[in-house]
Amino acid sequence: MNHGPNAIDPNVRSILDKIEARDFTIGIMGLGYVGLPLTLVAVAKGFRVIGFDTNPQHVELLNAGKSTIKHIPTEAIKKAADSGQFRATSDFSELGIPDAILIAVPTPLNKYREPDLGYVERSTEDIAAALRPGQLVVLESTTWPGTTTEVLKPTLEKSGLVCGRDFYLAYSPEREDPGNADFGTANIPKVVGADDAGARALASALYNALIDKPVCVSTAATAEAVKLTENVFRSVNIALVNELKVIFERMGIDVWEVIEAAKTKPFGYMPFYPGPGLGGHCIPIDPFYLTWKAREYEVTTRFIELAGEINTAMPHYVVERLANALDRLGGRGLNGAKVLVVGLAYKKNVDDTRESPSLKLIKLIEERGASVEYHDPLVSQIPPTREYASLAGRQSIDMSVQNIAQFDAVLIATDHDDLDWKTLANNAKIIVDTRNAMARANLSGPHIIKA
- Compute the distance between CA of residue 329 and CA of residue 422 in angstroms, rounded to an integer: 20
- DSSP letters spanning 135-191: -EEEE-S---TTHIIIIIHHHHHTTS--BTTTBEEEE------TT-SS--GGGS-EE
Q: Indicate left, alpha or beta for 25 from its phi (over 0: left) and psi (-120 to 50: alpha).
A: beta
Q: Is 216 a catalytic residue?
A: no
What number of other Cβ atoms are within 10 A of residue 218's Cβ?
Answer: 11
Contact by Cβ (8 Å): 396, 344? yes
Cα Rg, the chain, nearest whole Å: 24
Contact by Cβ (8 Å): 140, 103? yes
Set 88, 239, 282, 285: catalytic member: 282
β-strands 409-412, 338-342 pairing? parallel
Burial class (CB in 10 A: 0-12, 13-18, 19+), 298: exposed
Backbone angles phi, psi at 14, to 5 degrees: -60, -40
Half-sphere exposure of 330 (CA within 13 A, CB side): 27
Bridge partners for 392 per DSSP? none
Give the chain's largest Cα–Cα span. 87
Contact by Cβ (8 Å): 102, 26? yes
Bridge partners for 139 per DSSP? 103, 171
Helix (H, G, I), strand (E, B), or coil: what is residue 286? helix
- Compute the distance between CA of residue 376 and CA of residue 394 in angstroms, rounded to an integer: 12
Give the neighbor-by-neighbor strand order of the sheet with 448-450. 371-375, 338-342, 409-412, 431-433, 448-450
Residue type, 346: Y
Q: For residue 319, which of 409, 186, 448 has the smallest C-alpha distance?
A: 409
Report the catalytic residues: 282
